[in-house]
Structure 1
Amino acid sequence: MQVNATPNRRLVVGISGASGVAYGIRLLQVLRQIEVESHLVMSKSAQVTLAHESSYSVADVKALASVSYANTDIGAAISSGSFPALGMVVAPCSIRTLSEVATGVTSSLLSRAADVTLKERRRLVLMVRETPLHLGHIRSMASATEAGAIIYPPVPAFYANPQTIEEMIDHSIGRVLDLFGLETSLVRRWGT
């Protein structure tokens, strides 16, 4: 895939340390299939979670992306508002990352890239993975939403009658990409 895509064919992908790393992996796979340039940043916690939830190595996940960055590389292209992109998806999104986005107090490239996405008024989708929620979590979700983020917990849609976990993941990823106007064949639409 050519790196230097137009902004409408470029998406930043963050994978944080919440359970559900399969969402981030599948998002990268689908972006490659639909020829959207992906710019990946993974937190250290995501790398630990990856080892527990997947047979993929960190190198395997990075290889799925068009470009990948170290989470400590605060000077990376995606840390600047001058880097054009459709927006960013954090899949999955930990409560820590959510909280940093909600407050604008960033400590890593992942949260900085999310913050930049909001300040540039681009679409930011946070696939928050945590339950049950306490009031602090809910307030962080409200603050992030007020700043312009979209909170998208990966809740399965059973009307699609999924038969496998992969089908549930695909449906969620397809619906997230709908938010960017990126069409896939992953979503079984209601009434069709």
Structure 2
Amino acid sequence: MRAIVGIVVALVVAVVAYFAWTTYQIRQAATGPAKEIVSESMAKSGDVWHVSFVSKFDAPVDKVYEIFSHPERSHELAPDNVLKSEVVSEDGNTKTIDLIGKLDILPPGFKVQNVRTEYTLYPTEHRITTKTVNFKLADINSEYKFEATPDGKGTLLRFNQTSKDKGGIPVESVQKGALRETYVTQVRAVNRALGLTPGDQKRVAG
């Protein structure tokens, strides 16, 4: 009898620990400090998230833009988070990429997602726009604007995004964490491609 009670207690402790850790991961992804983000603003109006991030790269703007303009390299640069990144079609300055992404903060059944995304490049403006194509969880539109720092040695990325929820993930903190973590993953991948280790950056919540 004592053995059975012991097993039950152990199972309860394990379940509680799992949910506590999962909750912590979600909270960290949604609000915790990220040195990849210099400033941020995230707000939801109705069923639409409005997201703005600013990040700094210790590399010239042309070099940073060049890496961001090849999202098909995402699997190569972040294999743990991007399981697939392949060009489906390309027409002029627009290309469509099939991405299979993985986010551990998402609940079971949602951790791996197929996200077909259309990228439009504006090289002379150092700007990129993206939109998801028939993504089941949300309609996501993003804009990346790159500008040189005053000394010309670094790059500021100003990222703006709207994400219209389709009701797949009802918990707002999870939605917020997923949007934020997806962006941070991109910044980390680009820093890796640049051969940089992100420095300590002061984060200011907007």
Give the TM-score of the pair, scaled to structure 1. Answer: 0.23
Q: Structure 1 or 2: larger helix share? A: 1
Structure with the bigger RCO (C-alpha within 8 Å, sep 6+) is 2
Q: Choose 1 or 2 for highest CA Rg.
A: 2
Give the TM-score of the pair, scaled to structure 2. Answer: 0.22
